Structure 1
Amino acid sequence: MKFKCQQNELSTAINLVTKAISSKSTLPILSGIYLETKNNKLRLIGNDLNLSIETFIEANVEIEGSIVIPARLFSELIRKLPNAEIEFEITSTNGVSIKCMDSNYKLVGLPGNEYPELPIIEDKNSFLMDRDLFSNMIRQTHFAISQDEARPVLTGALLEIDKERFNMVAIDGFRMAIKKAIVKTDLSRKAVVPGRTLSEIGKIISQMDEKGDLRISFDENQVLFSFASLKVYSRLLAGEFINYNQILPSEFKSNARLDTDEFLTAIDRSFLMARENKNIAVKLEVKDDYIMISSNSEMGSSAEKVSIKLEGPDLDIGFNPKYLMDALKVIDSEHIKIEFINNVSPCVITPEDSDTYIYLVLPCRISK
């Protein structure tokens, strides 16, 4: 194996694939990055058996081959080399020579033929969608994915495709976030994708300069997210996801319309006081033309009004302020609608000008 490539391109590729490498792996070969040269391309893979990331860069290949190089050392070395051409060569059994300008390094790798093969996922169960739209779906739901390993299926988000309707749903037992989109497909499928996978894809998309479509492909146990020169493979979570439609209330008694940013900043300020309490909560007194937001702790208290337009009866209700802020930060609409049943039932927050986002949150007790 012998090839040459550019330092900046290799460093970028390494940064991508290392997102799939776990420091806790019990298999030594999975702590490394797989490199393979073929047809003047360098293929790089990071893999922890649950998440795999594969990418390609241009290379001047003299001798084809493969090897696995320890990820942490390799990543740091390449990052610190000058932005110039790098020459790689396997000099002995699993020995790698790396040359860049006047620098010369030798590393010890592992045999490439012992690295796990990536799954083969066919395109027949796949569809295309705009990558920025998918990234936004992740942004508006990921915070509601459960961190509780006691309910593994809720540590992922449900991807639900029904013909042209595509929904992403996250539930953690205290709140639920639903983002809806329209895609061009005849596919009908439900799959639960791990939160870690979606988080990494969101980061990857945000780092990409080019625009374009993302292809999402499924088989029985895996999902593949394909970009132009990058593929992300992930195991799907087993188990039956909660029937989220049964959780959504069918009718409400009150609804309030208000300014999103004004409400967010008021909740944020109230959170300063509420977080001094062990039981974090803010009280909302929903009146005819305003919401009084208040909080109390041993350090003091706060109260401020936000103007609203209310339809229905007044009520007093308490919430964990973080749960409100998480949703308000990702709602892109200038105004929101909050719908209430009573002070012990979940409320629903939606953008006033769109039906593509739904956020349900449970209230909490407030001290008298």
Structure 2
Amino acid sequence: MKLRVERDQFADAVTNAARAIPNRPSVPVLAGVMLRADGDGVTVSAYNYDVSHEGHARGTVQDPGAALVSGRLLAALVKALPNKPVELASVGAHLELVCGSARFTLPTMPVEDYPTLPALPDTIGTVDTAAFVAAINRATIAASRDDTIPVMTGVRVEFRAGTVALLATDRYRLAVVECPFNATDPNLSVDLLIPASVLAETAKTWTGGSIEVSAAAGGDGLVGFADGRRKTTSRLLDGTNYPPVRSLFPADDMVKATAIIPAGDLAQVVKRVALVAERTTPVLLTFTPGDTTLVVEAGGAEEARASEAMPISSYSGTEALTVGFNPQYLIDGLANLDTAHAHIGFVDAFKPAVIASADSDGQPDPTHRYLIMPIRVSR
């Protein structure tokens, strides 16, 4: 193998592929990234039997071939290279990398021992990159990190003709986000449970254009994403017992009070007030009828307390309301809104509240809803 590639494209391909390298590989070859030089450049890939990442860097190939080298080492090297073309050449059991006056010799592993990457399933449609990345960021914050309940660590992604919906919950909060989807089949109905960590990590690599989505018929086995130079596949989680989370949202006639609040200001106030609170201590939000002032309070150990009043746009309740929330969950819900103001709907102090972006008329955005469970408090 011998070729010459541009540094930036090669670094991007290596960094992207290295995301699939496990922290503790079950076999030595899984610590590697595969370099295959052919045609108009080099394809860089990695696979851990659950997730595969593949990227391509254009270049001039003098001698086609393949090499398997340590992924973490190569990723560290390409980040430190000068901004000059990169020359790669297989020499015996080593790979030589030259960039400007920098020269590295890396040991290689047997190419034939590396597992074959799974092929992308059939394409089911495309989605705008920016919209899909935003939806992923909004949904994945609500997914569980508890691996003992695998179904909660995934994002349920529902593909329909015209729309894709992402649902995630850790049992204490729930995010439902929708964005347009260009389906290949006007009768498309595919539901997938994709690991939230895979979605979140992969979304970091996408820029501009659109994402091509691939899935097997019936949503079994694999999901695939491609954005031109990069491809990703992931095994799906078993979503058979995923809870009917949409039913948790209160009906419109159940909502007794709404508040329109500057989202960024509330997040900053919560951060300050929560400094005195212990990890499991809620922040309290107190609303008063006819008053456009919100009081945020928290108490901690050794009688430490904090409170701060802030102006809000409106509160529609006819009765005073004091409700407690996990401060980080509340901040997460406010962090990814489309607008400067949040619309928060309340049933009462003990039922879930729903956060959404508020438009110029104070109406909530139905395509992005974040439900948060309150913490019961006694005063």
TM-score, length basis structure 2 = 0.89
Q: Retained in 2: the 8 A contact 1:160–1:166?
A: yes
Aligned residues: CA RMSD: 1.9
Indicate whether 1:362 and 2:368 are aligned: no
Matched residue SS, 1:302: strand
Indicate whether 1:213 and 2:210 are aligned: yes
Q: Matched residues in 1 for 2:102 and 2:182: separation?
A: 51
Q: Aligned partner of 2:335: which letter?
A: K
Q: Which is worse superposed, 246-255 or 227-236?
A: 246-255
- The Cα shift of 1:227 comes to 0.4
Indicate whether 1:268 and 2:267 are aligned: no
In structure 2, the CA distance between the partners of 1:348 and 1:8, relative to structure 1 (3 Å rule), is closer
Q: 1:299 pairs with 291, 300, 304, which one?
A: 304
Matched residue SS, 2:141: helix
In structure 2, the CA distance between the partners of 1:42 and 1:309, relative to structure 1 (3 Å rule), is same
For residue 194 of structure 1, what is the aligned residue in structure 2?
195
Q: Retained in 2: the 8 A contact 1:253–1:313?
A: no
For residue 247 of structure 2, what is the aligned residue in structure 1?
246
Q: Retained in 1: the 8 A contact 2:120–2:233?
A: no
For residue 120 of structure 2, what is the aligned residue in structure 1?
121
Q: 2:173 pairs with 165, 172, 175, which one?
A: 175
Deviations 1:151-208 (A, max 9, x none): 1011011101232221111100100011112222222111011111111122112xx3
Q: Matched residues in 1 for 2:75 and 2:189: separation?
A: 41
In structure 2, the CA distance between the partners of 1:97 and 1:182, relative to structure 1 (3 Å rule), is closer
In structure 2, the CA distance between the partners of 1:184 and 1:73, relative to structure 1 (3 Å rule), is closer
Q: Retained in 1: the 8 A contact 2:5–2:41?
A: no
Q: Matched residues in 2 for 1:104 and 1:263: separation?
A: 53
**Which residues of 2 match residues 6-155 of structure 1 at below 5 A?**
6-92=6-92, 94-124=93-123, 126-155=124-153
Matched residue SS, 2:376: coil
- The Cα shift of 1:256 comes to 2.0
- The Cα shift of 1:144 comes to 0.6
For residue 282 of structure 1, what is the aligned residue in structure 2?
283
Q: Aligned partner of 1:120: which letter?
A: A
Q: Matched residues in 2 for 1:182 and 1:97: separation?
A: 46
Matched residue SS, 2:366: coil
- The Cα shift of 1:253 comes to 2.0
Q: Matched residues in 2 for 1:45 and 1:121: separation?
A: 14
> Alignment identity in percent?
26
For residue 346 of structure 1, what is the aligned residue in structure 2?
352
Deviations 1:253-275 (A, max 9, x none): 2222233233223222222222x
Q: Retained in 2: the 8 A contact 1:263–1:306?
A: no
Q: Retained in 2: the 8 A contact 1:35–1:112?
A: no
Matched residue SS, 1:177: strand
- The Cα shift of 1:221 comes to 1.0
Q: Which is worse superposed, 101-110 or 46-55?
A: 101-110
In structure 2, the CA distance between the partners of 1:328 and 1:40, relative to structure 1 (3 Å rule), is same
Q: Matched residues in 1 for 2:336 and 2:317: separation?
A: 25
Q: Aligned partner of 1:363: which letter?
A: P
Q: Matched residues in 1 for 2:105 and 2:264: separation?
A: 55
- The Cα shift of 1:36 comes to 0.5
Q: Matched residues in 1 for 2:142 and 2:155: separation?
A: 9
- The Cα shift of 1:367 comes to 4.5
Q: Matched residues in 2 for 1:98 and 1:162: separation?
A: 46
In structure 2, the CA distance between the partners of 1:285 and 1:32, relative to structure 1 (3 Å rule), is same
Q: 1:336 pairs with 332, 337, 342, which one?
A: 342
Q: Aligned partner of 1:215: which letter?
A: E
Q: Matched residues in 1 for 2:279 and 2:267: separation?
A: 22
Gapped regions of structure 2 (runs ≥ 5)? 360-364
For residue 255 of structure 1, what is the aligned residue in structure 2?
258
In structure 2, the CA distance between the partners of 1:364 and 1:3, relative to structure 1 (3 Å rule), is same
Q: Aligned partner of 2:371: which letter?
A: L
Matched residue SS, 2:171: coil
Matched residue SS, 1:183: strand
In structure 2, the CA distance between the partners of 1:182 and 1:99, relative to structure 1 (3 Å rule), is closer
Deviations 1:63-103 (A, max 9, x none): 211121011222233333333333322222x3323334444
Gapped regions of structure 1 (runs ≥ 5)? none
Matched residue SS, 2:182: coil
Q: 1:325 pairs with 318, 325, 331, which one?
A: 331
Q: Matched residues in 2 for 1:357 and 1:20: separation?
A: 30
Q: Matched residues in 2 for 1:12 and 1:259: separation?
A: 38
